[in-house]
Structure formats: C-alpha cells, structure tokens
Chain A
C-alpha cells in the first residue's frame, strides 16, 4: 500500500483524510501492525483503483 500511496505522491496524512481515518491508522496498516476492517480494505482498494487482493494478502499483511 505504501508503494501505491507514494506513487500517487500522497503523504500518509493525505490518504488518511481521503479515507476518513487517522494518519496513525495508515501507518499501522503500511507497517503491518494493523489489519483493516473489510469496509476499510475495500475503500482503500477502490481509492487505488485495484482489487482488494492486490493490496492485502492472506499470507502476510
């Protein structure tokens, strides 16, 4: 997710604002410390215009 975010030229705070979550949550997702809920995962995937499974994998976060 970090690669997709940086490719869009977005800071964590920018993505957090777009997804209506905290910057800490974006950071925790990117570092694998937090697994987002299904609605948030879908929202992230939609934001990047990609299927959920291309960003989140069952074998690793």
Chain B
C-alpha cells in the first residue's frame, strides 16, 4: 500500500474509463451519422484521461484520488461525490418541474430521478447489511 512511488491497477481505472467513454461516444455519434463529432469526443476523452494520468504522477492529491489508497483522500472523494450527487439531484428536480410546467410528462428527468431513487434505496439496503 505504498502511495508515493508505485501506481496500482486502481490508479488506471478512471483514465481507462475515460477512454472507454470516448469510444462509446465515437460509436454513438457514428450510429447517429456524425462520426466527425465522435472522433472529436474521443479525442477530448483521451486527452482528459492522459492529462489526469500524467498529473497524478506529480500531484499527490490527484494520485490519491485515483488510486484510493489514502484514507483521507478517499474520504474527500466520497464527500465530493455526495456534493456532486446533491447538485445532480437538484438539477434533475428542476428539470422535471420545468418540463411538467410546460405541459410535458417530465421525461427524461422522471426516469433519471427514479433510477437515482432506486439506486439510493438499494445502496442503503446493501450497506445496512454489510456494515
């Protein structure tokens, strides 16, 4: 569990996920008849992934956030994720209300909100049993 010099497999999960997302974007844009935009999206995601991987070599904070081996940085990551989730929930709720006020059925915000709610309940149930 050395944090200062070695990199773990966990370290590469986020950059790899970024590249995977870029490939998915490329496929999606290509299916939609816009492969050029797909290549741009892939390029952006590859650049982002390479940037965080390289910054992680020099920044203890970025490295800690990527490899999750430092308990303090893991806690910071968890709290930052919770704040992000709250922001997303507020955005989804606002989107739903605006859609309904315009006479629509609230899609796609209703579905996104439902997924979030079910995920939260599932997570509470899972962690209640596990801890």
| Interface residues, chain A, with chain B CB atoms under 8 Å away | 13, 16-17, 20-25, 28, 34, 36-37, 40
Contacts and interface: CB of A to CB of B under 8 A. Distances in A.
Nearest to A25: B72
16 contacts: A17-B3, A20-B3, A21-B3, A21-B69, A21-B70, A22-B70, A22-B72, A22-B73, A23-B4, A23-B60, A24-B61, A24-B72, A24-B73, A25-B71, A25-B72, A36-B72
B114 interface: no
A37 B78 CA distance: 15
Interface residues of B, number: 13
B2 A22 contact: no
Contacts of A22: 3-4, 60-61, 63-64, 70, 72-73
Contacts of B3: 16-17, 20-22
A16 B69 CA distance: 12
A40 B2 contact: no
Nearest to B73: A22
Given A17-B3, A20-B1, A24-B70, 8 more contacts: A13-B4, A16-B4, A20-B3, A21-B72, A22-B60, A22-B72, A24-B72, A28-B72
Interface in B37-71: 60-61, 63-64, 69-71
A37 B72 CA distance: 9
B104 to A, nearest CB: 47
A15 to B, nearest CB: 11
Interface string B66-86: 000111110000000000000
